Structure 1
Amino acid sequence: MVHIRQLDPTASPLDYFGYELRRKREEAGLTLKQLGSVLFCSGSLIGQIETTLKVPTRDFAERLDAALVTDGYFSRLVGLVLRSQLPTWFQPYADMEAKATYISTYQCQLVYGLLQTKAYAAALLSVDHPDRVDEMVAARMERQRVLEREQPPALWVVLDESVLYRMVGDRDVMRGQLAHLLSFRNNQSVHVQVLPYSVGAHTGMMGSFTLLRFEEHPDLYYCESYDQGHMTANPQVIRERSVGYARLQAGALSPEDSADLMARVMEERYGAEVA
């Protein structure tokens, strides 16, 4: 006799998704294999998602809605599922990031999460979480949907020049990541500047940080350590870091010159030919 794992839909968003998938599938009179053939995947994958062994992607949820005619139900639910895959300490920041109307960030080591490619994110996450790469990458890509809104936030990113040279993954990964950054060259909402080595000592040497602005909430300052994030609306901190960020922008290359530098690094260091 086959043992069917019983799920508690109140345990987590992932459990609720699996519970509802099984319920809707059985309601439609479909076996795992039958639904898998409709979704162009294996019945085993359906079963793994139903029992929370696999995390659904947004593409899977959208195809599921179409197959079961559920009017976007799973597409809405998958956002909660993917958000729950973020580290617990990071989720409060992700919630506020999604509500911000203006995001300004200085990154001293890595490309900001909202601008990472899947391959770059996977290479990063595989270092410390090799067994959870797929779901954590999916969660990071879900965060990026904020840039696809009809009215996306204004995003200003200052990257230390070292970010362009630090090999994350391999040459192909870095070439793809720099090409992705260059794709925002004419974007009205996303602006990327590079802080060159020639600036020397600067106000961002304490580490990466982000400032969030909102229409109906106080401004927030955010930074993080290895296992925790620090977020504050302290007016003095906001004022000091806002001035610090303005100084970083002033010392950085213009968005146009930054794009030229990224294109040059992509060609010379990572072997791409830029038209």
Structure 2
Amino acid sequence: MTAQSEPSKDPAIRAFAITLGAFRVKAGLGKKELAEKLGYTPAYTSQVEAAKNVPSPRFAEDLNTLFGTEAFTELQQNIMDARTNGLLPPGFIDYVDQESRASLMYIFEFGVIKGIFQTYDYACEVLRSGRAAEEVEQLASKRMERQKILARDEPPQIVAVFDEGVIRRTVGGREIMRDQIARLVEISKMPNVTMHIVPPGKGAYPGVMGAFTILRFDDGPDMVYTEGYLGGSITGNAANVRGHTVHFDLIRGVAMSADDSLEFLHAAWEGL
């Protein structure tokens, strides 16, 4: 990472820098001595302590080892989380927070496979356009973290409907799609997941207006998240949620059964 001429205003970077300085002084080490003990250049360690450079995960781990603490890896992760959140479209951070709390999810996707069902390689391809490689990796890793809700002790019940074009559209090449469809087959067999595919030939069915997700909670009102080109919007407006619920029922009504959808996925995988 290139050093800045002025200290960063990012609170997470400044917190790391202040903590590093406090630990160094408490240990009775000068800046040059610290660099020698860690095996880094004095310029780099000084830049990090001055909040002019971003500490790497390896640097944080080395500081933990030297000072006998876990604080630096946690502080470094805070920096990465803040940087990743800054890359996310408007409205999406609120959605991710609500998604992690939902007890039931109704998902409809028309363009690409839903993020919580994506493989890492598929996610990278979806996220690649207009972004630097580092940004793509950060966002894809964040997407993989979201998928932990599928394996938690009490996972949400999920009913997902995909337009068949989502499965037919080759994203990133044959091998990436084969792995992605295999992942969908695996997820569709989870006891808390029901998956449907809208088959070819349905024409202008209700789902052509775009993707959305309805979230239900044990301790709060339902919410709906709609996606747009530049971001998304989440709302708990009762009329809005009710309208999307009716819409989802209509979409599900034109989709194949769960068993037929699974056969469709197997056929799509074999055809690649």
TM-score, with structure 2 as normaliser:
0.76
- SS across alignment from 1:222: strand
Give, in angstroms, the shift of residue 146 of structure 1.
2.4
Question: Conserved in 2, the CA contact under 8 Å of 1:17 and 1:74?
Answer: no
**Equivalent residue in structure 2 for 1:184, among 176, 180, 187:** 187
Matched residue, 2:148: 145
Question: Conserved in 1, the CA contact under 8 Å of 2:15 and 2:75?
Answer: no
- Inter-partner Cα distance in structure 2 for 1:166 and 1:232: 30
Q: 1:4 to 1:82 in 2, by over 3 A?
A: closer
Give, in angstroms, the shift of residue 135 of structure 1.
1.2
Residue 230 (structure 1) aligned with residue 233 (structure 2)? yes
Matched residue, 1:203: 206
- Inter-partner Cα distance in structure 2 for 1:25 and 1:4: 23
- Inter-partner Cα distance in structure 2 for 1:33 and 1:177: 46
Structure 2, unaligned stretches of length 5 or more? none
Matched residue, 2:77: 78
Matched residue, 2:117: 115
Question: Conserved in 1, the CA contact under 8 Å of 2:116 and 2:147?
Answer: yes
- SS across alignment from 2:153: coil
Give, as a single letter, the amino acid of the residue that structure 2 aligns with 1:162. G
| Superposed CA RMSD | 3.6
Paired residues in the alignment total 253
Find the structure with the greater CA-based Rg. Answer: 2
Matched residue, 2:10: 11
User: What are the Cα deviations for residues 145-179 of structure 1, in whole angstroms up to 9, with x where unaligned?
Assistant: 22232212222211100011111111111111111
Question: Conserved in 1, the CA contact under 8 Å of 2:224 and 2:241?
Answer: yes
Matched residue, 1:96: 98
Q: 1:79 to 1:165 in 2, by over 3 A?
A: farther
Give, as a single letter, the amino acid of the residue that structure 1 aligns with 2:184. L
Matches within 5 A, 1:254-269: 254-269=257-272
Question: Conserved in 2, the CA contact under 8 Å of 1:55 and 1:135?
Answer: no
Question: Conserved in 2, the CA contact under 8 Å of 1:182 and 1:263?
Answer: yes
Matches within 5 A, 1:117-136: 117-131=119-133, 132-136=135-139
User: What are the Cα deviations for residues 46-65 of structure 1, in whole angstroms up to 9, with x where unaligned?
Assistant: x99x9665775xxx799789
- Inter-partner Cα distance in structure 1 for 2:151 and 2:74: 16
Q: 1:63 to 1:230 in 2, by over 3 A?
A: same
Matched residues, percent identical?
26
User: What are the Cα deviations for residues 179-217 of structure 1, in whole angstroms up to 9, with x where unaligned?
Assistant: 111111321122321111233321111101111111222
Question: Conserved in 1, the CA contact under 8 Å of 2:185 and 2:265?
Answer: yes
Matched residue, 1:39: none
- SS across alignment from 1:236: helix
- SS across alignment from 2:107: strand
Structure 1, unaligned stretches of length 5 or more? 37-43, 270-275
Give, in angstroms, the shift of residue 256 of structure 1.
2.3
Give, as a single letter, the amino acid of the residue that structure 1 aligns with 2:128. S
- Inter-partner Cα distance in structure 2 for 1:107 and 1:252: 12
Question: Conserved in 2, the CA contact under 8 Å of 1:108 and 1:207?
Answer: yes
